[in-house]
């Protein structure tokens, strides 16, 4: 994938701020991102992602070293400003209602991921195929229940439109036998995508993880 070539911001598409917000937020959530992974996570064509990253590097919002890119302090400031503007555009009352629904699913998701990672008080060694299949069946049921809510969240915050496909891709990989896509942190596993969406919703409501923990919600 090409990267590092200059591109004036005026040549970016009309939703440049939204695209930039998506990129900077992804970098914040993941810490470091390989340029080749951007199309899969942002659900944008490779050339758009390359131009977006190049523009952010030129503007000083991120740096690219070796095979990964990360936010700069200036990028964090830019991200904070973009997120604040987005919060002002979102109907906070409706989003809070959607988040309350999400929280109920979040409790179920946390239990499923715990069951995947742990068994009988110790780490799950995944030697019992029937046990793992049972956990995956519970994840299937959660995904089916959760998808209609996710569609409503995206309708409220269109920038989050890449999430449904990322969840669906994780489920497809799981069912193809790539069970790392249940919960492995370094890839777009179901749990990774869930965590990132949770962070998005908390931020959109102007809250923090500490606020959520204090309120007794599953984090």
CATH of the domain at 70: 1.10.10.10
Residues 125-166: pLDDT tens digits?
Answer: 999 999 999 999 999 999 999 999 999 999 999 999 999 999
Mark whether 94 and 180 lie in a shared domain: yes
Band (209; pLDDT cuts 50, 70, 90) = confident
Range of the domain at 73: 9-84
Q: For the chain, what is the domain count?
A: 2
Mark whether 112 and 80 lie in a shared domain: no
Mean pLDDT of the chain: 90
In angstroms, the CA 70 to CA 26 distance is 10
- Mean pLDDT on 31-53: 92
Q: Which of 41, 59, 84 is the last residue of a domain?
A: 84
In angstroms, the CA 103 to CA 217 distance is 7
Residues 29-41: pLDDT tens digits?
Answer: 999 999 999 998 8
In angstroms, the CA 49 to CA 125 distance is 38
Residue 219 falls inside a structural domain:
no
Mark whether 100 and 41 lie in a shared domain: no
Q: Which of 84, 102, 124 is the last residue of a domain?
A: 84
Mark whether 21 and 94 lie in a shared domain: no
CA-closest candidate to residue 204, choices 93, 121, 120, 128 = 93
HSE (CB half, 13 Å, CA atoms) of 36? 4
Residues with Cβ within 8 Å of residue 219, at least 6 apart in sequence: 198, 209, 212, 213
């Amino acid at each position: 994938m090409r990267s590092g070539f200059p591109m004036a911001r005026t040549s970016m598409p009309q939703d440049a701020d939204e695209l930039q917000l998506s990129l900077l937020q992804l970098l914040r959530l993941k810490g470091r991102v390989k340029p080749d992974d951007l199309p899969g996570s942002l659900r944008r064509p490779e050339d758009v992602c390359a131009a977006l990253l190049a523009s952010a590097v030129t503007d000083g919002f991120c740096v690219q070293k070796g095979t990964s890119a990360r936010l700069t302090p200036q990028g964090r400031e830019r991200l904070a400003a973009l997120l604040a503007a987005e919060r002002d555009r979102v109907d906070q009352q409706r989003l809070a209602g959607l988040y309350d629904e999400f929280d109920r699913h979040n409790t179920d998701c946390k239990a499923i991921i715990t069951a995947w990672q742990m068994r009988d008080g110790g780490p799950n060694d995944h030697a019992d195929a029937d046990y793992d299949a049972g956990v995956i069946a519970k994840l299937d049921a959660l995904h089916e229940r959760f998808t209609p809510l996710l569609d409503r969240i995206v309708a409220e915050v269109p920038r989050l439109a890449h999430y449904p496909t990322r969840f669906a891709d994780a489920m497809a990989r799981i069912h193809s036998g790539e069970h790392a896509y249940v919960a492995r942190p370094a890839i777009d596993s179901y749990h990774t995508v869930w965590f990132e969406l949770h962070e998005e919703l908390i931020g959109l409501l102007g809250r923090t993880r500490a606020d959520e923990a204090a309120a007794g919600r599953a984090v």
